[in-house]
Amino acid sequence: MAEVEKKEVAAATPPWKPKPRPIVRLGIVLISHSLLVSVVCCTAGVVALFLLPMLAKNTYISENALMPGSASSMLSNDDISEAERLAKDLTSLNSGAADAGIERRRVLAKYLSDLGVEVGYHKFEPHQNQFHPLHFFSSPDSGLSRENGSCSSYGINVVGIIRAPQADGKEAIVLVTPFNFRKNSSSEALSISIGYAVFSLLSRVTWLAKDIIWLVADSQYGEYASVASWLRDYHIPVFSASSSDNADSCFEGNNINLLREESLDQTEISSGFRRAGTMAAALVLKVTDVKGQLEDTLSVYAEASNGQMPNLDLINVVNYLAVHRQGLRVKVEKFISVLRWEWIWVLGDTLNFIGKVAGSLNPEWKFGISTPDYVEGTATLANLLYRQALGIPTGPHGAFRDFQVDAITLEISPKVVYTNQGRRNEFILRSARLIEGVVRSVNNLLEKFHQSFFLYLLTSPAKFVSVGVYMIGFALLVAPLPLVAASLYVDANKPDPSSQGPKHKLQINFKPWKWLSAAKQVFTVHAWGVFVSLLPYFISQIPNSTPAAHSIIWFSLSTFGLLVLYLITKSPFKPQKGEWENLKSVTISVVFIGLLLMSVVNFATAQIGALVLVPACLLAQPLKLDIRDASLKSFLRIACNVFISFVAFPPVGFFVLKGVNEGSGNMDVGEFWTWLESLWAWNSATYIYIGMVHLPCWVLCLHILLHSC
């Protein structure tokens, strides 16, 4: 009997099953409560973004070898006087004369020759940045046309090189001064004076460990074009003689050989392209006339293509020397419109109050920030994110970053137009000493910049947010996406209630064909996105067409392509009852992957895209279900979906952002085409993101809203 009872008990006892691992159980809990997790994470992500100005830290110099300000300036009044004499000789030439450009180059070459440095000319043919689908993420030289240009389309840069007496010529520092040789500009002449004062000093010193290159870039075809052309020839020499022969046959009134022949006899102008060592850093110097300045101001521009930034130490050295040695006011650009938003000031007051309360409770909790500092930090951060998201360089320094050279543009604005010679000499002296100090610091480096951050956001010239801080907000925003995708898949593949086990167990009836059907729909719509992204290449070939006409043609062809897709396949838009959960699950998964990939290429684009696409994807639900429910929650979701779908449409989002920043007046349809044209012309990854990630996912979310379930 005992054996029989034991057998009966063993038969009644269910077989032992191992408990799932803690990570699996945690995943099941998060998926089961995906709605709560989504609300918490998205709210925390937005809050973390607005807290970035408060979390910014003071900048510091990581590389000890830089030692900014450790040596006294060697610039003298004689250097300034000689530089002023050069500026007068350049501006005294008649700008209307046909050979004014030749005369100015000859004068500049004469002054450089008198310093005993190597002097050369660099011919270049400016090219137009044009969209080509195969040139994205390619080498900087791949998009250039080698076709012969007209003789009048060439420019000439003047290059001077100082060979370092204490080095073997393997490294170099580049100083760039844009100058239009055909025009008479007092501000450009002032920048030439500053550059020449520094260059003349460096030609005499014995402590140089790196070669010095002074590039006077011919800016008549644009500052970026002349610098980029010189850099291409510096790093990627062209061995074909066809283009050079054609160039030598030109310059009827601007002949480069004439420049060499009529130069001073005692100094030979180099006939070939002269090179120095590997570039350690580059500085682009400009002087601008800005009215209403209360003091001499230095504006720093650092954004390069696709949001790339130079090493933070380079900006820190400039900021330290400008503020603590030369008394200049350093600034970075900000969104002026943000300063007028009242709710930002209210938020700043609130955070300031919270910081004071926390400090009173525990003096070690020092995270408070004044309201003006918070508002200005927010305006600066918004401008930086926008400029990085565009992916377009903010100055000629962007050409250096394409070759992995740390570079920035320094734009100096005097508070008044100096008519008094003494005040003018003082301005030149302060600016030249700043450049001298930066060159001294970079000259001390034993290797390239590497100690400080390459991934950072600036809230002021002296405060930054590191990548480990600003990535938290982005991670919180995208974290709910895989959880919601898994939850939707579970809901779409639940077994029948009669076959369900205990309620605490998560059971899934796997039906892979349903997932594949949804994946097919998503893939088809993204293929349409590729088609839409390639359309501008063909539309731009239409002659005598306005940007507004291009926009209308692009919109019409894109809509027509969508209709053709529906008529041919009928799969992306064919109503399938009960399948919208799988479609939304796959869409969210694609958005998650797209945002993560974009965060590697251009974080600012991924951050802005996450603010728009994440709520659009999470809230998307067939409108029929909400209308059928007829509750307050359903109507709120309908309102949110309609609003987000309207704003998430790229043209609408562009005009909303433009209206917020510049005002609602003078809106033109062609402006969106011009904006997109600038993106593809500069090979911005944002263009790829809009066409192949954002727009297809917006269409899929719209399809989910209109799904007949």
The reported pLDDT for the residue numbered 640 is: 92
Count CA atoms closer than 13 A to 571's CA, side-chain side. Answer: 13
Shortest CA distance to 94 belongs to which of 183, 180, 158?
183
Below-50 pLDDT ranges, the chain: 139-150, 240-254, 258, 263-267, 498-506, 572
- List the structure tokens of 565: 């897709």
CA–CA separation, 124 and 144 (whole Å): 12
The reported pLDDT for the residue numbered 245 is: 42
Q: What is the residue type of 55?
A: L
Provide the angle, in degrees to the nearest 10, between the axes of the packed helices 100-114 and 77-91.
160
- List the structure tokens of 229: 């052309």
Span 240-262, pLDDT tens digits: 444 334 434 444 344 555 455 55
- Beta carbons of 443 and 209 less than 8 angstroms apart: yes
The reported pLDDT for the residue numbered 668 is: 78
Q: Is 100 helix (H, G, I), strand (E, B) or coil?
A: helix
Span 595-620, pLDDT tens digits: 999 999 999 999 999 999 999 999 98
Q: What is the residue type of 418?
A: Y
Burial 517-553 (b: 16+ CB within 10 A, else e): bbbebbebbbebbebbbebbeebbeeeeeebeebbeb
- Beta carbons of 169 and 181 less than 8 angstroms apart: no
CA–CA separation, 518 and 374 (whole Å): 46
Please state whether beta strands 329-331 and 463-466 pair in parallel, antiparallel, or not at all (unpaired): unpaired
The reported pLDDT for the residue numbered 138 is: 53
The reported pLDDT for the residue numbered 119 is: 92
The reported pLDDT for the residue numbered 313 is: 94
Q: Is 104 helix (H, G, I), strand (E, B) or coil?
A: helix
